[in-house]
Amino acid sequence: MKLPIVLIGSSNTSKTSVGKLLAQQLNLPFISLGEISEKYYLEIGFNKVQQEQAWEENGGDGYYRYMMPFDAYAIERALSEHRESVIEFAAEHSVYDDAQLEKVEQILQPLTHVILLLYSPDIEESLRVLKESNRAVVNGMDINEHFVKHHSNHDLANYVVYTKDKTPIQTCEDVLSKINPSDSDIILIGAMNTGKSTIGKLLSQKLNLPQVSMDEIRWEYYKEIGWESDTEKQIRGQQGFAGVYRYWKRFELYGIERLFSEHSNCVIDFGAGHSVYENEADFARASELLSPYKNVVLLLPSPDLYESVEILKQRNMFTINGMEINRFFMTHPSNQKLAKQVIYTKGKTPEEIKQEILCS
């Protein structure tokens, strides 16, 4: 799974209890951002006197606004230092005005497990059960009401878990049920020569994840169900590349199944044929295999498929069904249907493409 796991929400939503239970279940450290944030504040000029002055002049609203940039910075620093952990945010760490919210959204964007704990889908009911633990006023509103009703929490969260009538253990189980262990995998698909291996290497370096190239490991999987080099050579001599391609189709879905069974938390680049299927049953099986994976990224030179073909022209002259191979792969609907994201590479460096994938 992609870490860290972040719990957000107002006070008194059992974030601490649930966070500690999650950490125990997953054998991860538990970090309370509220307990460690002051050291980060000091790095960018936090001043206790100015904080107190903001409170004296404008009450809770002044205090809250003074702290916003420091809280946003603390999030960035905590995530950089505690990647493999369960992190509990204090209530104020996930509620911001528009300018700071945009910054925090960018910081949290790569995460897939930002989980909002809320008592009930009924906001008024959630407010009623909050204890009177803080009577500060923000924007003319009781601070708990502000935190519960503000859109920031919902904007930042990947999931919402409701705690009504649940023990912390039951809430922990609810959170665990929403954690997809495949979220940290990135799967790159597309035609030949679109940069899948190059971009995969850059992503693996950036994310500190292994790179797995299907074209490098597939033969061992294929052999398990009958692929033979001599048979392939014979088919190539009699039918050319089109015959070889059809021969490979017997083994490709099995290769995907085996790759997924042996490799997780990695960056995977498929061969061009592993995401193109003409047989409806085969396509349905490929869709089923890829459905748990959030980050299936199709690399294409351009939104104009025929421009993409022209860009890649002359790099591969094999044909399938009487069509040059990259034209076949790029105009076939399989890739577009299987992809969760499409990244266009025209005019971009590999580094720029890598960054676009990370930010998408």
- Assess whether pLDDT exceeds 60 at residue 319: no
- Assess whether pLDDT exceeds 70 at residue 191: yes
- Assess whether pLDDT exceeds 60 at residue 316: no
Average pLDDT over residues 318-332: 68
What pLDDT, in 10s, does the model give residues 228-239?
Answer: 999 999 999 998
- pLDDT > 90: percent of the chain: 49
How high is the pLDDT of residue 58? 87
Q: Which ranges constitute the DSSP H helices of the chain?
A: 15-26, 33-43, 48-81, 98-108, 123-129, 143-149, 152-156, 168-178, 196-207, 214-224, 229-262, 280-290, 305-312, 325-331, 334-338, 350-359
- Assess whether pLDDT exceeds 70 at residue 181: no
- Assess whether pLDDT exceeds 70 at residue 251: yes
- Tell me the CATH number of domain 186-359, given options 3.40.50.300, 3.20.20.70, 3.90.1150.10, 3.40.50.1820: 3.40.50.300
How high is the pLDDT of residue 77? 96
* Domain ranges across the chain: 5-178, 186-359
Mean of all residue pLDDT scores within the chain: 87
- Assess whether pLDDT exceeds 90 at residue 249: yes
What pLDDT, in 10s, does the model give residues 142-178?
Answer: 667 777 888 888 889 988 899 888 899 999 998 888 7
**pLDDT bracket for residue 302 (50, 70, 90):** confident
More confident residue, 117 or 123: 117
Cβ atoms within 10 Å of 55's Cβ, excluding its own: 16
Going by the DSSP 8-state scheme, the letter that residue 73 receives in this structure is: H
Tokens of 220: 């061992």
**pLDDT bracket for residue 214 (50, 70, 90):** very high
For 5-178, which CATH class? alpha beta
How high is the pLDDT of residue 79? 94
- pLDDT > 70: percent of the chain: 91
Exposed, middle or buried by CB within 10 Å (0-12, 13-18, 19+), for 229?
exposed
**pLDDT bracket for residue 310 (50, 70, 90):** confident
